[in-house]
Chains A and B, each alone.
With several copies, the nearest count.
Chain A
Amino acid sequence: MNEGPYTHQASDSAYHFTAAALRAGHEIVRVFFYHDGVNNGTRLSVPPQDDRNVSERWSELANEHGVELILCVAAAQRRGLLDEDEAKRAGKDSNNMAPGFQISGLGQLIDAGIQADRLVVFGD
């Protein structure tokens, strides 16, 4: 998942695809957020009331179906997506990561490619 929420449809497409895969009984090994995709992991988003909440929707997939949502640490640091630990380590006074997301390394993308039967890329 290579693009952030709202700006490109990629995040919506990936969400609908993931939800459909779960409906069909498939196991989702992991959703890996890279490039601007890490911006999906913010809990500070306040979309208009008549619009979808992209980040919350991902968090719900993690909460309800145990889907692993991983933000690439290097991509997240560049773009200012931090969990509590990362914020402390970097000496930042606040953090912004949404529940259900975890920060990890790029190796998790390769590992997913090895483990999963199929890998689908969504982006710009």
Chain B
Amino acid sequence: MSVLHIINKSPYDRSSLDTCLRLAQPDSAILLIEDGIYAVQKNAAAAQKVEQALANHQIYALQPDLEARGINPDNMIDGIALVDYDGFVKLTTDYDKSQSWL
């Protein structure tokens, strides 16, 4: 019964990533979209918790949202996988259900 957690807000402005990490089961995955993308940045204040989360969760980031925000993929935390909208659709079918942390 694994869950795809979707985060669309910056970890610096909203509590949604923290809450997701507190409530996500170990086999669930996390997809970063829209302003949720900012959680991918290396050497940033939110990086440590994202790196720790990678031990328990697959973490994906939506590439078109990454590009819109001008984040260099080289500055992404290692282990985060990029997907496009087709990949986003596939993730929602790979996991039993999705949970958008609005």
Q: Which residue numbers of A lie inside 8 Å of B, CB to CB?
A: 2, 9-10, 13, 16-17, 19-21, 23-24, 26, 117-124
Contact = CB atoms under 8 A, between A and B. Distances in A.
Contacts of B86: 20, 23-24
B12 interface: no
Interface residues of B, number: 18
Interface stretch (B41-49, B74-82, B93-101): B93-101
A122 B100 contact: yes
Contact of B89 (A2, A17, A117): A17
- In terms of DSSP, what is the predominant structure of the interface of chain A? loop
Contacts, number: 47
Contacts of A119: 97-98
B85 A16 contact: yes
A24 B84 CA distance: 13
Nearest to B34: A9
B57 to A, nearest CB: 19
Given A10-B8, A13-B34, A26 B102 contact: no
A122 B62 CA distance: 14
B8 A13 contact: yes
B89 A24 contact: yes
Given A118-B98, A120-B100, A123-B100, 5 more contacts: A19-B85, A20-B89, A24-B90, A120-B92, A120-B98
B17 to A, nearest CB: 15
Interface string B52-69: 000000000000100000
B50 interface: no
Contacts of B34: 9-10, 13
B90 A13 contact: no
A84 B46 CA distance: 50
Contacts of B98: 118-121
A30 B81 CA distance: 29
Contacts of A124: 102
B97 A121 contact: no
A119 B85 CA distance: 16
Contacts of B92: 118, 120
A19 B84 CA distance: 12
